[in-house]
Amino acid sequence: MSLIHWAILSPFLLAIFIPFLRKYLRGIHTGWFVLVLPIVLFTYLFQFLKDTMDGNPIIKTAKWIPSIGVNFTVYIDGLGLLFSLLITGIGALVVLYSIYYLSKQKESLHTFYVYLLCFMGAMLGVVLSDNVIVLYTFWELTSLSSFLLIGYWYQREKSRYGAQKSMLITVFGGLSMLAGFILLSIMTNTFSIREMISQIETLPSASLFLPAMLLILLGAFTKSAQFPFHIWLPDAMEAPTPVSAYLHSATMVKAGIYLVARLSPIFAGSSEWFWIVSTFGIITLFWGSFSAVKQTDLKAILAFSTVSQLGMIMSLLGIGSAALHYKHLDNNIYIAAIVAAIFHLINHATFKGSLFMVVGIVDHETGTRDIRKLGGLMTVMPLTFTLAVIGSFSMAGLPPFNGFLSKEMFFTAMVNATKLDIFNMETLGVFFPILAWIASVFTFIYCMILVFTTFTGKLQTEKLEKTPHEAPIGMLLPPIILASLVLIFGFFANILAPSVIEPAVTSILPSLLEEGWKYHVHIDYWHGPNIELFMTIGVVAIGTVLFLTLAKWSRIYNVFSKRLTLNNFYDHGLVSMEKVASKVNRFYMTGVVRDYLVIIFAFLIVALGSTLVMKNAFAIDFTHVAPIRVYEAILALVLVAGVVVILFAKSRLTAIIALGAVGYTVSLFFVLFRAPDLALTQLVIETVSVALFLLCFYHLPKLQRKNKPLRFRLPNLLISLGVGTIVTLIALSSSSNRLIESISSYFVENSYTEAGGKNIVNVILVDFRGFDTLFEITVLGIASLGIFTMIKLRLSRGKEG
Instruction: Supply the pLDDT for residue 517.
Output: 58
* pLDDT grade for 611, boundaries at 50, 70 and 90: confident
> Which tens digit of pLDDT belongs to each residue from 452-468?
999 998 888 888 888 88
Instruction: Supply the pLDDT for residue 443.
Output: 96
Residues near 363 by beta carbon (within 8 Å), at least 6 away in sequence:
241, 298, 299, 369
Separation between Cα atoms, residue 249 and residue 226, nearest integer Å: 14
> Which tens digit of pLDDT belongs to each residue from 187-220?
999 999 999 998 888 888 899 999 999 999 999 9
What is the pLDDT averaged over residues 477-490?
Answer: 95
pLDDT over 80 (residue 422): no
Helices (H), 25-156: 31-46, 49-53, 78-101, 109-128, 132-150
Q: Which whole-number Å values give the CA distances from 457 to 211, 453, 541, in the listed order?
A: 54, 7, 22
Most confident of 237-251, 324-338, 355-369, 648-662: 355-369
Total Cβ atoms within 10 A of residue 245: 31
pLDDT over 70 (residue 182): yes
What is the pLDDT averaged over residues 145-151?
Answer: 94
What is the pLDDT averaged over residues 236-263?
Answer: 89
pLDDT over 60 (residue 338): yes
Instruction: Supply the pLDDT for residue 328.
Output: 46
> Which tens digit of pLDDT belongs to each residue from 620-650?
777 767 788 888 888 889 888 988 888 777 7
pLDDT over 80 (residue 415): yes
* pLDDT grade for 565, boundaries at 50, 70 and 90: confident
Instruction: Supply the pLDDT for residue 511.
Output: 66
Instruction: Supply the pLDDT for residue 771.
Output: 86
> Which tens digit of pLDDT belongs to each residue from 739-784?
677 788 888 888 888 888 877 877 887 888 888 888 888 998 998 8
Element (H, E) at 64: strand 58-65
Do residues 376 and 467 touch, judged by C-beta distance below 8 A?
Answer: no
Separation between Cα atoms, residue 581 and residue 797, nearest integer Å: 43
Instruction: Name which of 246, 414, 398, 420 is nearest 332 in CA terms.
Output: 420
Do residues 125 and 82 touch, judged by C-beta distance below 8 A?
Answer: no
Instruction: Supply the pLDDT for residue 193.
Output: 94
Q: What is the mean pLDDT of the chain?
A: 87
Total Cβ atoms within 10 A of residue 229: 24
- Comparing 198-202, 417-421, 568-572, 684-688, the range with the smallest average pLDDT is 417-421
Instruction: Supply the pLDDT for residue 201.
Output: 84
Q: Which whole-number Å values give the CA distances from 593 to 252, 600, 692, in the listed order?
A: 45, 11, 22
Q: Which whole-number Å values give the CA distances from 528 to 400, 524, 534, 694, in the listed order?
A: 16, 10, 10, 96
* pLDDT grade for 331, boundaries at 50, 70 and 90: very low
What is the pLDDT averaged over residues 500-514?
Answer: 81
Query: Hey, what amino acid is at 518?
Result: K
pLDDT over 50 (residue 796): yes
pLDDT over 50 (residue 82): yes
* pLDDT grade for 699, boundaries at 50, 70 and 90: low
Instruction: Supply the pLDDT for residue 39.
Output: 96
**What stretches of 347-455 adopt beta strand conformation (E)?**
none
Instruction: Supply the pLDDT for residue 325.
Output: 61
> Which tens digit of pLDDT belongs to each residue from 288-316?
999 999 999 999 999 999 999 999 999 99
pLDDT over 80 (residue 327): no
Which sequence spans correspond to the domains of the chain?
268-575, 745-801
Residues facing residue 74 across a β-bridge: 60, 129
